[in-house]
Every structure is written in structure tokens, then in C-alpha cells.
Amino acid sequence: MTTPASSPEPLAGILVVDLTRALAGPHATMMLGDLGARIIKVETPSRGDDTRGWGPPFVWPENSPSHEPADRESTYFLSANRNKESIALDLKADDDREVLLRLLRRADVVVENFRPGVLERLGFGIDEMHRLNPGLVMLSISGFGSDGPEFERAGYDQIMQGEAGLMSITGGSPDDPQKMGVPIADLLAGMYGAFGTVAALRARERTGHGTVVRTSLLAAAVSVHAFQGTRWTVAGEVAHAEGNHHPSIAPYGLYRCADGSVQIAVGSESLWRTFAAGFGLDADDPRFATNSDRVVQRTRLIALIEGVFSTWSAESLIERLQELGIPAGRIRTIDQVYEWAQVESQGLIVEVEHDTLGALRLPGPALRFFDIEGAETTRRRHDAPPVLDADGDRIRSWLQSAELSDV
């Protein structure tokens, strides 16, 4: 499973030791694995990553009709652990600690999301890791950060969506805060962590030394406030949940039609004039003449547009909006997304062969790569998420042979 350094994949030849569990850390290391890095996932013996037990839904091999818990795989775990190897190590046992030490000596990157102080108590603090391997890049992902008055708090995604303000701007109204349908703080922390790791590897090429990259669920969630953040920091205006309509652009949002709903994004004055002319509206109506006017009069504008749309089916409305060049879209269910030819064309579905479950279709990576002549060099073959300790013996043998070759 080792990716040769001659591979066109950007991180070919990079070895990552993954000490993480749940989602933020595993998502970060999966992103690095998608880029060609070799990911060795260190798991707790017997139970493995916490997400192996998160379900339902679970899936079982066809030859397990009794559905024994020991045979099952969690779809949650499968979502965040492709392109990895698994070794089970008890970090309180001397023999297993020695295996980890040997891995760390050879690693380029180590990723951890233990609560602050845990690694130090296990004897694997930052100073010790860098003594073993001065070139090691260490990514540390925490809940609330590595310092500050509340750094010791445990961070889980929904807790952070509330604490970091995301739930206050999501939902139908200020009295109806809602979490997102995916663990967005976890996913963002993983993405920022992977980004920081790649930057640290680039810096190591210049300095020859490793470094520590830190991020947190809190930092990731606050960093994506975007214009909702500057509404407060610059304008002194507190954002709140406003449902499915943009707080600063109109018309921009979800509109009912005869048999469902469509979304439109009229993001410029020229688009507004085109949209109005295309549906028999007066673009110069003083109530709606500018975007600012339309935002102020949003409730009236929604009623006016939905009155026009009420005679259109969603399908015919989408066709008309596309004819006019107005950005528009439908609301797809998750199953419809994975049946969409456009999604498949972008490599967003990958097929893998799992050790016990057989052929699986998984959500794929978001990045594609092309050479200067336009030929795609994106990774095509992906490995299924591993069963627990699937690679333990092979990794130990590899370490032994690699160490002998060093002599």
C-alpha cells in the first residue's frame, strides 16, 4: 500500500502516523491519503476508532447472516478512513509503545487529537517526538484550542456549532437554531489541519526541521463566519437565522412553485433586470430598484416571486431560468445526488474493494489534478477503509526489514 515517491500524486513518499479517532483527525489524514501519502492508522485494540461503533447504520458481510456485532462495519467509519492501513496498539503496553516509537522515527507527519496533556502522560509529547525525529511535522487538533481559559474542555461537533455561533445563524428564525446536517466543525478542522500540514511540509523543505501545526473545532468554525462575522466586527450588527434567504442579496434563496420549490441566486443588478423581464416583473419598481431596496423589502419580494412561480412546475421553471442565464437549482435528496451524472463525472464517487464487505461505493475526494498539457493525474485507485488491525503484522515486518536495511 506504500505509495512510491515516483508517483505523480503530490504527497507520494510521505508517511503519516495517524493517532486520531472520530472525525476531524481522520478526515485530515484521509485528505492526505487521497494526495498519495501513506497513512498508518493507530487504533485501540479490540474496539478501534470510536466511530467503528457509531451506528446504526451498520453493514455486515454477506456470509454473516446472524449479524454478529464483531462482524459489522459502521458506515460512519467508512466515510472517513479510505486509503489507510490499520494497526492496533495499546499505548500503555511496552511492546506496542516500542512499535509506535519505531513508526515515529520513520514518519514525516504525526496527527493527533487527544485531549490536551494525554500524549505527554503517555510519554509522546512534542519534545519527545521531535527528539526522536527532528524533521517530524506534528498536527494537533483539539476542541477549543491548545491554550486559553477553556482549552481543557472536550469539543464535539454539535457543541461547537452552538458555541461558535453557527447554530445562531442557521434555521428558520432566531427562535429556531439548527445544527447543520453534517458535522461541519469537525470536517472544517480536518480540512484546515490538512492544509496546515502541507504548508509545514513545504516549510520543512527549506529549513530541514519539523514544526507543530495546531487547529481546533472552535478555530475552524469561527474562521468560516465570513460576511456574518464582519457584520458584527465592522458594522456592529448581530447576525441571526433567516431561513433559506440570503441576508444581504435579494432575490437569493428558496422559492415555492406549483409542485415544489427551486433556488435562485440573482447576484447582480444585470441579473435582476434579466430575471424581472423574463417573468413579467417591473425591474424599475421603486420598492425593488436596487439590491438594498430588495433586501429591505424581501418579504414582499418573496410573495411577488412566488405568486409568479405558482403556475410553473419545478422542472419547467428550472429550464426557463437556465434559458435566461439565472443561476438556479433544485433540492436533491442524498440518493439523487449520488445518481447524478455530474457528480460521477467529477470523481466524487469511488469504488473500492473492502476486505469483508466486498465492493463498495464511497464519496470521493474533492480535488482533481492535471499536468500542464491537460492530462489528468488525479489518483484513480483508492483503498477501502481497513478492518481493525488489518495491516498490523505487515507493518511490523516492514519496520523490521526497513531497520535492517538501515544497518
Q: Give me the pLDDT at residue 405, please.
A: 80
Q: Give me the pLDDT at residue 402, please.
A: 85
Same domain, 329 and 362: no
**What average pLDDT does the segment 28-40 reach?**
97
Q: Is residue 189 part of a domain?
A: yes
Q: Give me the pLDDT at residue 69, please.
A: 79
Reported as a single tens digit per residue, the pLDDT across 10-22 is: 999 999 999 999 9
26, pLDDT greater than 60: yes
Q: Is residue 242 part of a domain?
A: no
259, pLDDT greater than 90: yes
Q: Is residue 231 part of a domain?
A: no
50, pLDDT greater than 60: yes
Among 10, 38, 134, 11, residue whose Cα is nearest residue 402: 38
Reported as a single tens digit per residue, the pLDDT across 142-191 is: 999 999 999 989 889 999 999 999 999 999 989 999 999 999 999 999 99
Q: Which three cell numbers stand for residue 243?
A: 431561513
Same domain, 309 and 358: no
Query: Active-site positions?
Result: 186
**What average pLDDT does the segment 301-327 reach?**
96
Q: Is residue 308 part of a domain?
A: yes
pLDDT confidence band for 266 (50 / 70 / 90): very high
Please state, rounded to an integer, the average pLDDT across all residues of the chain. 94
Reported as a single tens digit per residue, the pLDDT across 56-111 is: 999 999 877 777 777 899 999 999 999 999 999 999 999 999 999 999 999 999 99
Same domain, 118 and 188: yes
Reported as a single tens digit per residue, the pLDDT across 327-365 is: 999 999 999 999 999 999 999 999 999 999 999 999 999
6, pLDDT greater than 90: no
Q: How many domains does the chain have?
A: 2
**H or E segment to which residue 99 belongs:** helix 94-106
Q: What are phi and psi of 198, to 5 degrees?
A: -60, -40
- What's the CA dihedral at 273, 277, 280, 284 to 10 degrees? 40
**What average pLDDT does the segment 19-39 reach?**
97
Same domain, 130 and 168: yes
Q: Where do we find the cell 448581530?
A: 238
Q: Give me the pLDDT at residue 207, please.
A: 95
Domain boundary among 312, 333, 354: 333
Q: Where do we find the cell 481559559?
A: 149
CB-based contacts of 303-309 (< 8 A; 24+ apart in sequence): 305/251, 305/255, 305/279, 305/281, 306/255, 306/256, 306/257, 308/279, 308/280, 308/281, 309/255, 309/256, 309/257, 309/258, 309/262
Q: Is residue 5 part of a domain?
A: no
Q: Give me the pLDDT at residue 156, please.
A: 94
Same domain, 119 and 70: yes
Same domain, 173 and 194: yes
Domain boundary among 333, 352, 379: 333
Q: Give me the pLDDT at residue 115, please.
A: 85
407, pLDDT greater than 80: no
Q: Give me the pLDDT at residue 8, please.
A: 79
Q: Is residue 114 part of a domain?
A: yes
Q: Give me the pLDDT at residue 5, please.
A: 54
Q: Give me the pLDDT at residue 289, please.
A: 94
Distance of CA 67 to the CA centre of its chain: 30
DSSP characters for 40-82?
A: EEEE-TTT-SGGGG--S-EE--TT-TT--GGG-EEHHHHTS--
Same domain, 99 and 220: yes
Residue 322 amino acid letter: Q
Q: Give me the pLDDT at residue 264, please.
A: 98
Same domain, 122 and 161: yes
pLDDT confidence band for 406 (50 / 70 / 90): confident
Cα distance from N-terminal residue to C-terminal residue, the chain: 24
- Rounded to whole angstroms, what are the CA distances from 59 to 81, 114, 331, 360? 16, 28, 28, 11
Q: Is residue 241 part of a domain?
A: no
Same domain, 196 and 260: no
CATH number for the domain harbouring residue 54: 3.40.50.10540
Domain boundary among 309, 333, 357: 333
**What average pLDDT does the segment 29-57 reach?**
96
**What average pLDDT does the segment 314-326 reach?**
96
Same domain, 141 and 182: yes
Q: Is residue 369 part of a domain?
A: yes
Same domain, 82 and 129: yes
Angle between helix 184-207 and 24-34 (nearest 10): 50
Q: Give me the pLDDT at residue 206, please.
A: 95
Same domain, 180 and 313: no
Domain span including residue 274: 252-333
